Homo-oligomer: A and B are copies of this chain.
Amino acid sequence: MRHKILKLLKDRSPSYLSGEEMAQLLNVSRTSIWKNIHSLQSDGYRIKGSPRLGYRLAGIPDLLFPAEIAGELQTKIIASSPEIIHHYRQIDSTNSALKTLAEKGAPEGTIVIAEEQTGGRGRMGRSWSSPFSKGIWLSILLKPPLAPQDTPLFTLLAAAAVVKGILVNLPDLPVGIKWPNDLLINNRKVCGILTELKAEADLLHYLVIGIGLNVNSKEEDFPAELRNTATSLYLENNKEEVSRQKLASSILQEMDNSYLDYLNNGPGMVISAWKKYNITLGKDVTIKTVQGSFSGKAADLDSDGALIVEEEKGIKKRFQAGEVTLENFTGGQDPF
């Protein structure tokens, strides 16, 4: 009902629509209309009321409501209907919430999106700062009929899709991927991706891909210890705000396009898209792993997503996991 009233108001905007007309069109009571209008207003929708003319939609808040995100989407799987878009003003962690939904049988393509995370998580159990309405804190449920060994390709897919989604909105931003899936602008981290999974040894049950993208964060929105190493689209876009609704829609659309292409045609496009936007290959890197640290030139991306590093003596090593530091950035090292 809420969605339907919102749609009527949007279609009529910027003109007025009377409560009586809405009640008739939707076959509900005037009281029900009034209650839903009130609920929309309390969510931040600017709806003006006039005793004679009725209601008029004067402004939509830049919050990530299912109706606002789904409106622009042409997706086949991911967030393909408002019912599988779970929006929260505040939540512990979108990944944790989505894993709970997955355990209860949520369908593929279900997403959890929140205005604020109180316990946002990054890789290796690190915390992820996620203040209210400043970023896109989004998790996507996928169930590809593949093995857990194929997971790294999905994290690469997600990184490239987020870059594409950003560039649709901000075509000139110099955003690049640090292996495997950190997004950097001017040597500062703007987005991290945390992929979690449940599986049998050779069959994925589900993947939860969590995306944390700093959008409209000002400097003071970052914890002090991150101010030199993190950035946001706002800060890199001449301090102009970016529509989170449009950005979320673009990212979901690019994710869906890439995922369908992978399912239909295999991972070729994933690898080529990642390579196109990466800023890792060709650089001198140090990679920290549980087995120790290794230095060399990032020579190539293997077909399974592993990073191939060439040591000084020409010996090539494959890495499926690790923390990469890019050595030749200004300042001598990458701070992540």
Q: Which residues of A contact B (CB under 8 A)?
A: 123-124, 145-149, 151-152, 154-155, 180-181, 194-203, 290, 304, 320-322
When the two chains form their complex, are residues B199 and A152 in contact, meaning their CB atoms are under 8 A apart? no
When the two chains form their complex, are residues A202 and B152 in contact, meaning their CB atoms are under 8 A apart? yes
A250 to chain B, nearest CB (A): 23
Nearest opposing residue in chain B for A99, CB measure: B198
Q: CA A303 – CA B208 in complex, angstroms?
A: 28
Given A194-B200, A195-B201, A197-B199, CB of A151 within 8 Å of CB of B148: yes
Residues of B close to A198: CB separation below 8 A: 196-198
Q: CA A210 – CA B320 in complex, angstroms?
A: 26
- Which of A154, A180, A203 has the largest count of B CB atoms less than 10 A from its CB? A203
Residue from B145, B149, B196 within 8 A of A200 (CB atoms): B196
Residues of B close to A152: CB separation below 8 A: 149, 201-202
When the two chains form their complex, are residues B195 and A321 in contact, meaning their CB atoms are under 8 A apart? no
Q: CA A195 – CA B181 in complex, angstroms?
A: 28
- 16 example contacts (A-B, Cβ-Cβ < 8 A) are as follows A148-B148, A148-B197, A149-B152, A149-B320, A151-B199, A155-B201, A180-B202, A194-B200, A194-B201, A196-B198, A197-B197, A197-B198, A197-B200, A198-B198, A202-B320, A202-B322
Residues of B close to A124: CB separation below 8 A: 200, 203
When the two chains form their complex, are residues B147 and A203 in contact, meaning their CB atoms are under 8 A apart? no
Residues of B close to A146: CB separation below 8 A: 290, 321
Nearest opposing residue in chain B for A152, CB measure: B201
Residues of B close to A149: CB separation below 8 A: 148-149, 151-152, 304, 320
Known: A148-B151, A149-B320, A197-B199. 4 other contacts (CB 8 A): A149-B304, A194-B200, A195-B201, A196-B200
Q: CA A155 – CA B154 in complex, angstroms?
A: 23
